[in-house]
A = this chain, B = another copy of it.
Amino acid sequence: MLLLNKIQDIRKNTKEWKSQSYTIGLVPTMGALHKGHASLIEKAKETCDKVIVSIFVNPIQFGPNEDYNRYPRTIDQDSKLCESLGVDIVFAPTAIEMYGDNIKTSNNNYTYVCPPYNYVDCLCGKSRPGHFDGVATVVTKLFNITTPNYAFFGQKDAQQLFILKRIVKDLNMDINIIPCPIVREDDGLALSSRNSYLSPAERNNALTISKALMKIKQLYSEGINDVNVLFDTAIATLNPNIELDYIEFRDFTTFEKVEKVGKNTLIAIAAKSGSTRLIDNIII
């Protein structure tokens, strides 16, 4: 396995691969890899001849009061995991390699890829202004650097997944976005690099987020599809110490709000446990 941090070194390898008609899979990550990431990498290994994992904590997708500096960085551990999973290249660039000397980028001095505002100005985008522009921009850059045939994203970031599919379609990128299911701890907590921030008590309270989703799923399987009823049930299930940002019910094809849950409905929750912002969802 190669651990590379220069764009030109990635290009050298991918050009060689392309010339031999190998298919390339990209798993974009911010590192602090867990079993959720491992499942993406395994899927990429199944699907593609060559697999690149990018590890880059992208400054431009964090707001000024968010956890960019605090975000866990565990590159040695991450590399070992990637090697053990048969990854061909780990791409771990610096912020300067990605954005040049002026890494304090803004729309004033840098080109941004801006997803449709209708899909950005809601759910996580509402409380994280600029976040999805930052995600769309870095993912476009990573796509252009690694030239993948397939790119693998977790369904946990459901809004991100929806938006990236739209970017690929709107900008005619010749890339297949492969969504991968959420991986959970035995007790239901969705895996996240940010779980490492949680105290035992905060973790315990956070468990009620996935419990609320499972409760909705159960009620739906019993024939209850009214969003108001399901919303109230979720609220009643959440620990009162959880600071709810949103519970949303949306059609995952159109991203429109729905009144009745049905096939392909995304039910997404964002909430803080202590100071840690967590997200989770199910798709019916």
- A223 → chain B, closest Cβ, in Å? 35
Q: How far, in whole Å, are A140 and B113 apart by their CA atoms in the complex?
A: 10
- The answer to whether B107 touches A171, judged by C-beta atoms less than 8 angstroms apart, is no
Most interface-central of A18, A110, A115, A147 (chain B CB within 10 A): A110
Chain B residues, Cβ within 8 Å of A114 = 107, 111-114
> Which residues of A from 151 to 201 have beta carbons under 8 Å from B?
166-167, 170-174
Chain B residues, Cβ within 8 Å of A140 = 171
Question: Taking CB as reference atom, which chain B residue is nearest A173?
Answer: B144
Chain B residues, Cβ within 8 Å of A21 = 19
Given A18-B18, A19-B21, A21-B19, the answer on whether A111 and B173 have CB atoms closer than 8 Å is no
The answer, yes or no, to whether A118 is at the interface (CB within 8 Å) is yes
Chain B residues, Cβ within 8 Å of A167 = 111
Most interface-central of A19, A117, A171 (chain B CB within 10 A): A171
Q: How far, in whole Å, are A170 and B113 apart by their CA atoms in the complex?
A: 10
Contact flags A109-149 to B (C-beta < 8 A → 1, else 0) = 11111111110000000000000000011001100110100
Question: Taking CB as reference atom, which chain B residue is nearest A113?
Answer: B113
The answer, yes or no, to whether A11 is at the interface (CB within 8 Å) is yes
Chain B residues, Cβ within 8 Å of A111 = 113-116, 136, 166-167, 170-171
- The answer to whether B113 touches A174, judged by C-beta atoms less than 8 angstroms apart, is no
- A114 → chain B, closest Cβ, in Å? 5
Tally chain A residues at the interface, Cβ within 8 Å. 31
Question: Taking CB as reference atom, which chain B residue is nearest A7?
Answer: B172
Choose one: B7, B19, B107, B144; the contact of A116 (CB below 8 Å).
Answer: B107
Q: How far, in whole Å, are A166 and B114 apart by their CA atoms in the complex?
A: 16
For this complex, 18 residue pairs linking A to B, each with C-beta atoms less than 8 Å apart, are A7-B172, A11-B174, A18-B18, A19-B21, A107-B114, A107-B116, A108-B117, A110-B116, A110-B170, A111-B114, A111-B115, A111-B116, A112-B113, A137-B171, A141-B170, A144-B172, A144-B174, A147-B174
- Which A residues are within 8 Å of any B CB, using their own CB? 7, 11, 18-19, 21, 107-118, 136-137, 140-141, 144-145, 147, 166-167, 170-174
- Other than the given A19-B21, A111-B116, 20 more pairs (CB < 8 A) read A11-B174, A18-B18, A107-B114, A108-B116, A109-B118, A110-B116, A110-B170, A111-B114, A111-B115, A111-B166, A111-B171, A112-B113, A113-B114, A114-B114, A137-B171, A140-B171, A141-B170, A141-B172, A144-B171, A144-B173
